[in-house]
Structure 1
Amino acid sequence: MQHSNPDYDLIIVGGGMVGLALAARLAQTQIRIAIIDPKTVEMSWNKDDYDLRVSAITRASQKLLDETGAWSFIEPDEKTAYQKMSVWDGEASRGNIEFDANLLAEPNLGHIIENRVLRRSLFQAIKPYRNIDFLSPQKCSKVSYHADQASIELTDGKMLSARLLVAADGAMSWLRNNSGIDIKQTPYGHKAIVATIKTEKPHQNTAWQRFDHNGPLAFLPLTDEHHCSIVWSVKSDYADQLMSLDDKEFLNRLEQTFELTLGHCLETSQRVAFPLIERTAESLVQERIALIGDAAHTIHPLAGQGVNLGFSDVLELANTIEKTLKKQQDIGLKRNLRSYERARKGEIFMMQKAMQGFKLLFEQDIPFIQMTRSYGLALTNQHPLLKQQLIKQAMGL
């Protein structure tokens, strides 16, 4: 049913990190915002057990979290600042490159934070705002579009309307799929195995990544100096083999691949594997809808940029909405949303192509290519100015 005065100005479908960040970024505009999510926000947990899902938060993303007030809700023992990054080729001539925050006179390169911590802190940031409603646990059942608004029906039968809908409900987005927006999908042929690992040696507040023809293995430092979150992205058939191993066999294979860089791998949490697929929505905006985060795009996790791309979406869409509001125009019209799409498509395209290129380069086991890439890493490591530019780009500065 169509109403001349919608219930909200903005409805965000998806109350994960990216959806909540958009609400927090727009909180002070006083527009009426609803967030719909099937899962309530976890507010407390046993800190001895790490979330399997962690994110490498860049300095640019940290700035967004700080501006929204969310950063202040993250306790010191809930974030790990990493000062260094060590990347090496585990095959052939074994080139390597090391990045150090000291090269830019910066305190760190970024932070490793559990996803549940990020979600809770963003929820805490929006709680004081009376113009934001967090509707959870709730699921959507129908969506319809009209000339001056869009409507969503919840599974309990309640109808909600808004000038603009935002799909922030992840890679399998219900809102995107039910709004007729096609998505291009290209499987990487890899699965990512994630787990929390206890190591013999301390992680030295360093993010470690080793490449070989099977794929990249990353050890990301957690708050306890002997615990790391791993992301092991390997060819799907090899991932299945690794998942079939018992814990002792898996730890042995892991420490061999990681070349005992942090000594023996002593313990592992539950392991989870998921297929890696590059996804790109055919359009980021249509009349009355915009896509952000994984609903708009997914990339290979080897550079840890997934959620940071989503936070960049948030910044750009929020800026677009604010400019439209200043002009006293309709925030849901496609012509007023196009500047968001234009601003984001280039970075998304370049990031996806870069991830494809890295994957293809490092999965080659041809000796000449192995030697060439190792030489390239070593050469880059010897040029401080080039390293500075790479560090700045990775930090979002």
Structure 2
Amino acid sequence: MQQSNPDYDLIIVGGGMVGLALAARLAQSQLKIAIIDPKPVEMSWDKSDYDLRVSAITRASQKLLDEVSAWDYIGQDEKTAYQRMYVWDGEASRGKIEFDAKLLAEPNLGHIIENRVLRRSLFQAIKPYRNIEFLSPQKCARVSYQAEQASIELADGKSISAKLLVAADGAMSWLRKNSGIEIKQKPYGHKAIVATIKTEKLHQETAWQRFDHNGPLAFLPLTDEHHCSIVWSVKSDYADQLMALDDKEFLQRLEQTFENTLGQCLETSQRVAFPLIERTAESLVQERIALIGDAAHTIHPLAGQGVNLGFSDVIELAKTIEKSINKNQDIGLKRNLRPYERARKGDILMMQKAMQGFKLLFEQDIPFIQMTRSYGLALTNQHPLLKQQLIKQAMGL
């Protein structure tokens, strides 16, 4: 039986930062695109409170946001450029390493931006394009695959189809699960505590990170110079202890761990803790489906690379789709999607192994390992060319 033409060329399940970035990147291709998400985009909010979820946006990710015009929708008072990174070992070894944008003759090392700001700006970037539909609030009920298209039945009973489905619906991806794609999971044994902290001293446009055997503690600068977003990744049982403390006790423990680097910790927002798990999809592509962002992989947040990996997925998948369009090929066939998988698998694996290695290295409290760790940090800090290469890689330059 002959199939009818699909309703869309591309359906993106998940309208978060990564899903919207893919739509924005392909907006001028004239593909007919649908985005499905259960949550409408938040367009305004009380700016006296920060979003607990923030991202450290690399220069490579900034370039993508700029190319799709989303960067234009981020106000100067909605992004914090950080000029320096200061990382130190809080154990007996006292090793440290500092990075400065001046070393690269760059204006900054990156930006800290609230996730809700990024999502809103990407939504604003796609609004002018009539070939993109944002279906929200809307949930998926069923997915099915045919030879020449894939179909999704929505919760309201409507069914829509496309040549290609893209799973951009997060770590617990509904589309990945219901498409039968397996996921490998390795718990880190850590939980991440996130909160917004008011500090006595100015953050100095610096991203700070202290390591000890419990895990890394990061203070990320926000637009108000006395406020930072913290990500405290610690062993799960210790995280539970920290979450059980009242605000005053928590701030005191935070000050001690951070060695009063920014003076007293004066106020905390609501605190949220979540388990950290390394996830890797068994494949990034199958017939009629591709995975991007957290639906494809998750890593430890100690290097702040999660969303940047997702944006790199967007860049490579968009290139792969555009090549198929230029050759008049079916964008949903696995053989035509394979270049995307080949381009991304190595980078994802390298980042996951690096995060696992850093975690294992810094959680050791054996004196010899601490001394070796300290020597390595100090040696790296004394070599400008090595530091330059490391920071360029982290920035995506």
Give me the TM-score of the superposition, normalised by structure 1: 1.00
Aligned residue runs from structure 1 range 1-397, under 5 A: 3-397=3-397
**What is the DSSP-based 3-state SS (H/G/I as helix, E as strand, rest coil) of the residue aligned with 2:26?**
helix
CA–CA separation in structure 1 for the residues paired with 2:66 and 2:145: 35
Q: Percent identity over the alignment?
A: 89
What is the CA distance between 1:111 and its match in structure 2? 0.1
What is the CA distance between 1:92 and its match in structure 2? 1.3
CA–CA separation in structure 1 for the residues paired with 2:48 and 2:218: 21
CA–CA separation in structure 1 for the residues paired with 2:72 and 2:393: 25
Contact 2:93–2:373, Cα closer than 8 Å, also in 1: no
Q: C-alpha deviations, 1:13-42, integer Å up to 9, x for none?
A: 000000000000000000000000000000
CA–CA separation in structure 2 for the residues paired with 1:66 and 1:2: 43
Contact 1:2–1:151, Cα closer than 8 Å, also in 2: no
Q: C-alpha deviations, 1:165-205, integer Å up to 9, x for none?
A: 00000000000000000000000000000000000000000
CA–CA separation in structure 1 for the residues paired with 2:261 and 2:17: 32
Q: C-alpha deviations, 1:235-255, integer Å up to 9, x for none?
A: 000000000000000000000
- Equivalent position amino acid for 1:31 in 2: L
What is the CA distance between 1:4 and its match in structure 2? 2.4
**What is the DSSP-based 3-state SS (H/G/I as helix, E as strand, rest coil) of the residue aligned with 1:275?**
strand
Q: Across the two proteins, how many residue pairs are aligned to each other? A: 397
CA–CA separation in structure 1 for the residues paired with 2:320 and 2:272: 38
CA–CA separation in structure 2 for the residues paired with 1:182 and 1:149: 22
- Equivalent position amino acid for 1:185 in 2: Q
CA–CA separation in structure 2 for the residues paired with 1:387 and 1:100: 10
What is the CA distance between 1:376 and its match in structure 2? 0.4
- Equivalent position amino acid for 2:8 in 1: Y
Contact 2:22–2:318, Cα closer than 8 Å, also in 1: yes
Q: C-alpha deviations, 1:246-300, integer Å up to 9, x for none?
A: 0000000000000000000000000000000000000000000000000000000
What is the CA distance between 1:3 and its match in structure 2? 3.8
- Contiguous gaps of at least 5 residues in structure 2: none
- Equivalent position amino acid for 1:299 in 2: I
Two-structure CA RMSD over aligned residues (Å): 0.8
**What is the DSSP-based 3-state SS (H/G/I as helix, E as strand, rest coil) of the residue aligned with 2:371?**
helix
CA–CA separation in structure 1 for the residues paired with 2:375 and 2:58: 28
What is the CA distance between 1:2 and its match in structure 2? 8.2
Contact 1:2–1:146, Cα closer than 8 Å, also in 2: no
CA–CA separation in structure 2 for the residues paired with 1:245 and 1:38: 34
Contact 1:4–1:148, Cα closer than 8 Å, also in 2: no
CA–CA separation in structure 1 for the residues paired with 2:353 and 2:148: 37
What is the CA distance between 1:93 and its match in structure 2? 1.9
Contact 1:239–1:273, Cα closer than 8 Å, also in 2: yes
Contact 1:10–1:162, Cα closer than 8 Å, also in 2: yes
Contact 1:86–1:206, Cα closer than 8 Å, also in 2: yes
CA–CA separation in structure 2 for the residues paired with 1:43 and 1:250: 33
- Equivalent position amino acid for 1:175 in 2: L
